[in-house]
Structure 1
Amino acid sequence: GRVGMLGDGYSGYAAWAAARRKPAALKAIATIAPMAPGIDFPMAGQIYRNAMVRWAQEHAAAGPAGGDAGADQDARWQALDARWYRGDRPYWDIDRVLLGKRSKLIRTWLTHPSHDRYWRKFLPTAKQFAQIDIPVLGIAGYYGAEAGALYFHQEHRRNRPQADTTLLIGPYDAESIRLGTAAQLRGYTLDPAARVDLPELRFQWLDHVFKGARKPSLLQDRVNYQVMGADQWRHVPTLDAPDRTRLRLYLDARERDGSHRLSPSPSEGDGSAQLSVDLADRRDARVPWPDTLRSRQPTVRNSIRFVSDPLPKDTEIDGSLRGEFDITPSRQDVDLNVSLYELTASGDYQLLFEPYDFRASYAGHRVYRRLLRAGERQPLAFTAERVTARKLAAGSRIVLLVGLNKRPDRQINYGSGKDVNSETIADAQRPVRVRLHVSSHVEIQTRNP
């Protein structure tokens, strides 16, 4: 009569959906990268992903369409994304382009671009979070497996401070967690300490909950995270702490070796760096977006790069990247992309978290859309729904890429101020321009290594 639930992705969401109903037999849940409807699926940063169509199709059909699997299916969907990208139809027609027919489910999702009651009804309310009194374990990664896990963990803690909830996070994505982690992930060699059999860890934790076994040593505190480059785990009550030192870097308009600078203090004057992207240019429809985590050169398409001076000493960073951009946009809305790298002394770029896309009009609140004032200078505060932890070596530089979203696999925001689903390439008109003034900055927590 004592039940524990395991789940990853959608089934991780199902475990939370059960927990909020408080069935008497449910005594614990353990999830991997749980889906959070309206938070990280079918949109993220309030930007719809074409992958929602494939997900809905494969789940409705109980398997990949046509019986194919793996690389063949990936290539098929990528070709469909390219067809959509080269066309001139509004995003309302994404189902017709990718499936060849109208999907009532996709149409329903597109009707709710804000995190409104439709999405909130799938998630525990504040009262329900406060009443979830069973042990909870969440496992997530820095590379695309964290947004839902962070949401559930943070909301549970916010509404029930005494909650028995534990989060483990490290240099993983959802697939590598399920497979037990390998020596390498997308070109990055994991520290030995990060090579943990995470599915087995869940069972060890369940033995602790149900059989009184010793709690796994890796789960010493409420938040347990692996510091890349340090070969260590940290155990803390909360990841983002208000009393921690934060490293702040300003976006400098001055250029050096083809890049703008990231400076510890704002530069004098009223300069700005300009980001300009022609949303009507689709010549890159079949140019792949690499997903490597470590490379000799990052993808800077539709972006501008800011590079810091070499770090004078080893610097450990962790938590979420936050920032406030001082911008002058040419349109009423933009979809921005933020990526953060360590550029090592040897010339390698290490991606520190999965690139974060977000719609500017929802940056302050995902429920309410607030359009920008085209042609006017204004602040834009944001917090990336990503976390990371890495020991940056002395001599390394921090590299920030700020870009505009223009990808075949995502909804494109043309900035007209209309419902983005209704916009077409005809709304592109002139290139979108965003001026980033010198008071723009980002910051992240630091600690002594």
Structure 2
Amino acid sequence: MKKNRKTFGMAMLCLLFSHLGFGQTLTLPDKVKYDIADSVLIKAPNGITLSAVVVRKKGAPLQQPTALMYFIYSDTKRSLMEAKYAADHGYVGIVADARGKRLSPDDPVPYEHEAKDVNLVIDWIVQQPWSDGRVAMYGGSYSGFAQWAAAKYLHPALKTIVPYVAAIPGLGLPMENNIFLLANYQWPFYVTNNKYTDDAVNNDGARWRAMRMKWWESGLAYNKVDSLDGTPNPWLQKWLSHPDYDTYWQSMVPFKQDYAKINIPVLTITGYYDDGQVSALEYLREHYKYRPNAEHYLIIGPYDHFGAQKGGIPNLRGYQVDERALINTREITFQWMDYILKAGKKPELLQDKINFEVMGANTWRHVPSLDQMEASKIRFYLDKTGEEYRLSPLKPVQGSFTDQTVDMRDRTTMNNDYYPDPIVKDEIDKSNGLFFLTKPFDTAVSVSGSLEGELKAIINKKDMDVGLTLYELTPDGQYFQLSYFLGRASYAHDSSKRKLLCPGKEETIPFYRSRVFSRQLKKGSRLLLMLNIDKNPFAEINYGTGKQVSRESMKDAGEPLKIKWSTQSYIDLGISSAEQ
């Protein structure tokens, strides 16, 4: 288990903090064929200065639409290559740096000002003689976030966005479903230590491993972790002061009715194994919730955070990806821009609003909504008969309970081994947690959508952090990881307002912000659900006192956490026969 969790930690760090993107080869522009401005300063009325590069192809029309990428990972060479690619495709190519980065004299401030700063860049663009007054934005991770931030105060010149693996600060990182993750810890140093990126800090894996394990073994409160590292982390402390998804976070991206005003076409791209998928799909769900007729398309397949930005890699964490799943994100992006801005042909893959690859079937499917990824849904109850734990499609006639005890002080074991690396395992750790199995499927079936449902439980404390992991258990005994959920029970009903559990009372804990997936299961396969409490070195530890979790320490643990899981608990999964 410890070996697997170590792998998880390093994978998360690599995926969340790297600014490298697309896999396609890019080249630098030359002064013979291109007009190049690599030191543009955009001075805003509010006194800040942003920097950018601008590349135009010589001989192009005097006025063109602009393809804009905005990012915090300043790198002049990469910016010029990005801008050249846009210029080669009939656009003015611009890559702008976030506040405080590259040539900006201001201080770097992650997340907090993009909603207005990106629109200042767009204001500048439309005032240039080469602009035709239309701007399209694209890019992944932080750049994806920046597009949605700009859409909060939608500029009339912004005509479309193409966000890949877009982050939502406060919802997907640095906390997920209100649980702060240590995998994000070094990121503020990485992007604020200098005007570019502090790669030495980012790549110091030994330092971060040692810090995590020292904190884990010490039992100190999560907000003391930087004292163990020896370097104060003011951004961590600021974020920890906002454990609710409150107005601090809400101000950074569209929130509720803001989505109703976003009337431009959107193409979202993410992956089943993207660490930030919950954010990318939250944007999509909220957009459709508040603007039901939104022209918002989704491409999703077996990609991680890197892979979604380039269109996949053949072997993903030990899983041999279907050939048809491998696409070209960059080409599709500019086809989409041509479709929206130049009356071009819609990208062939976009045959409906939701476009997803079925792992194992080597095929794409196209449906109007996430809820229609499969023809039907089946409710599976977390049942127990004797010593047998079952995922049963039959609701138990009489509710009963399954007991679980977790000593939050114990450091000899780690609970909740959920991170999908590798995706296909020969064995999984069953030393703790509860494991529920379906009967073998008598024919091949496809299972698609999110892992969602309701947990019902009685506990002896005021809170707990819950983990769920879904696998396909194949006939030959392999475990293929499909999805996982991680969340805090006290925020299950509202991420912006904590509601503590009442010890000794049965509580209902709904969940849906998990990883969406699609997989064709083999005949004879079974679904396996792991239910556990999250207790490991990779996230803050909830000791259940009801105090702010980041301030709890092992001294607050008290008696072990005792849970009585109701057999009325269930998950809902979209399932169809392979023939359907």
Scaled to the shorter chain, the TM-score interval is: over 0.9
1:279-299 CA deviation, whole Å, 9 max, x = no partner? 1112358x9977211111123
Q: How many Å separate the matches in 2 of 1:176 and 1:76?
A: 27
| Alignment partner, residue 162 of structure 1 | 293
Greater relative contact order (Cα < 8 A, sep 6+): 1
Shift of 1:212: 2.5
Does structure 1 residue 378 correspond to structure 2 residue 507?
A: yes
Deviating above 6 A after TM superposition, structure 1's stretches of 4 or more consecutive aligned residues are: 287-290
Q: 2:269 aligns with which of 139, 160, 168?
A: 139
Q: Is the contact between residue 253 and residue 437 of structure 1 (CA under 8 Å) also seen in structure 2?
A: no
| Alignment partner, residue 307 of structure 1 | 437
Residue 153 of structure 1 aligns to a residue whose secondary structure is helix
| Alignment partner, residue 321 of structure 1 | 451
Q: How many Å separate the matches in 1 of 2:152 and 2:499?
A: 32
Q: Is the contact between residue 328 and residue 436 of structure 1 (CA under 8 Å) also seen in structure 2?
A: yes
Q: Is the contact between residue 278 and residue 513 of structure 2 (CA under 8 Å) also seen in structure 1?
A: no
Q: How many Å separate the matches in 1 of 2:505 and 2:258?
A: 42
Q: How many Å separate the matches in 1 of 2:289 and 2:395?
A: 35
Q: How many Å separate the matches in 2 of 1:75 and 1:295?
A: 26
1:184-229 CA deviation, whole Å, 9 max, x = no partner? 1111111111111223322222232233221111111111111111
Q: How many Å separate the matches in 1 of 2:369 and 2:213?
A: 42
Residue 394 of structure 2 aligns to a residue whose secondary structure is coil
Q: Is the contact between residue 178 and residue 495 of structure 2 (CA under 8 Å) also seen in structure 1?
A: yes
Aligned positions of 1:10-409 closer than 5 A: 10-62=142-194, 67=200, 70=203, 73-98=204-229, 100-143=230-273, 144-241=275-372, 244-254=375-385, 260-267=389-396, 269-284=398-413, 291-300=421-430, 302-353=432-483, 355-409=484-538
Which stretch of the first structure deviates more once superposed, 2-11 or 296-305? 296-305
| Alignment partner, residue 421 of structure 1 | 550
* Gap regions ≥5 residues in structure 2: 1-130
Q: How many Å separate the matches in 1 of 2:258 and 2:566?
A: 43
Q: Is the contact between residue 34 and residue 149 of structure 1 (CA under 8 Å) also seen in structure 2?
A: yes
Q: How many Å separate the matches in 2 of 1:4 and 1:254?
A: 57
Q: How many Å separate the matches in 2 of 1:171 and 1:290?
A: 12
Shift of 1:95: 2.8
Residue 219 of structure 2 aligns to a residue whose secondary structure is coil
**What letter corresponds to residue 407 of structure 2 in structure 1?**
D
Q: How many Å separate the matches in 2 of 1:45 and 1:301?
A: 26
**What letter corresponds to residue 159 of structure 1 in structure 2?**
Y
Q: Greater Rg, structure 1 or structure 2?
A: 2
1:35-78 CA deviation, whole Å, 9 max, x = no partner? 111210111011001133211111112466572664xx233212
Q: How many Å separate the matches in 2 of 1:409 and 1:8?
A: 24
**What letter corresponds to residue 112 of structure 1 in structure 2?**
H
* Gap regions ≥5 residues in structure 1: none
Q: How many Å separate the matches in 2 of 1:140 and 1:439?
A: 33
Which stretch of the first structure deviates more once superposed, 201-210 or 343-352? 201-210
1:86-141 CA deviation, whole Å, 9 max, x = no partner? 1132122233233x243332222111111111111112133432222222111011
Q: How many Å separate the matches in 1 of 2:233 and 2:519?
A: 43
Residue 501 of structure 2 aligns to a residue whose secondary structure is coil
Q: How many Å separate the matches in 2 of 1:161 and 1:440?
A: 31
Shift of 1:270: 4.6
| Alignment partner, residue 410 of structure 1 | 539
Q: Is the contact between residue 381 and residue 391 of structure 2 (CA under 8 Å) also seen in structure 1?
A: yes
Q: How many Å separate the matches in 2 of 1:280 and 1:399?
A: 28
Q: Is the contact between residue 88 and residue 424 of structure 1 (CA under 8 Å) also seen in structure 2?
A: yes
Q: How many Å separate the matches in 2 of 1:324 and 1:167?
A: 26
Shift of 1:24: 3.1
Change over 3 Å in CA distance of 1:124–1:227 after alignment to 2: same
Shift of 1:176: 1.5
Q: How many Å separate the matches in 2 of 1:306 and 1:56?
A: 39
Q: Is the contact between residue 6 and residue 12 of structure 1 (CA under 8 Å) also seen in structure 2?
A: yes
Which stretch of the first structure deviates more once superposed, 330-339 or 234-243? 234-243
Change over 3 Å in CA distance of 1:127–1:250 after alignment to 2: closer
Change over 3 Å in CA distance of 1:129–1:211 after alignment to 2: same
Residue 41 of structure 1 aligns to a residue whose secondary structure is coil
Change over 3 Å in CA distance of 1:68–1:131 after alignment to 2: closer
Q: How many Å separate the matches in 2 of 1:138 and 1:243?
A: 20
Does structure 1 residue 446 correspond to structure 2 residue 579?
A: no
Q: How many Å separate the matches in 1 of 2:264 and 2:513?
A: 29
1:363-404 CA deviation, whole Å, 9 max, x = no partner? 111111111121222322222332111122221111000011
Q: Is the contact between residue 251 and residue 266 of structure 1 (CA under 8 Å) also seen in structure 2?
A: no
Change over 3 Å in CA distance of 1:384–1:283 after alignment to 2: same
**What letter corresponds to residue 157 of structure 2 in structure 1?**
A
Q: How many Å separate the matches in 2 of 1:414 and 1:347?
A: 36
Change over 3 Å in CA distance of 1:377–1:134 after alignment to 2: closer
Change over 3 Å in CA distance of 1:92–1:145 after alignment to 2: closer
**What letter corresponds to residue 388 of structure 1 in structure 2?**
F
Q: How many Å separate the matches in 2 of 1:263 and 1:47?
A: 30
Q: Is the contact between residue 359 and residue 519 of structure 2 (CA under 8 Å) also seen in structure 1?
A: yes
1:383-441 CA deviation, whole Å, 9 max, x = no partner? 23321111222211110000110121201101111111221011222221211122221
Residue 172 of structure 1 aligns to a residue whose secondary structure is strand
Report the aligned-residue RMSD. Answer: 2.3
1:160-180 CA deviation, whole Å, 9 max, x = no partner? 222221111111111122343
Aligned-pair identity in percent equals: 36
Residue 333 of structure 1 aligns to a residue whose secondary structure is coil
**What letter corresponds to residue 309 of structure 1 in structure 2?**
K
Q: How many Å separate the matches in 2 of 1:297 and 1:416?
A: 35
**What letter corresponds to residue 368 of structure 1 in structure 2?**
K
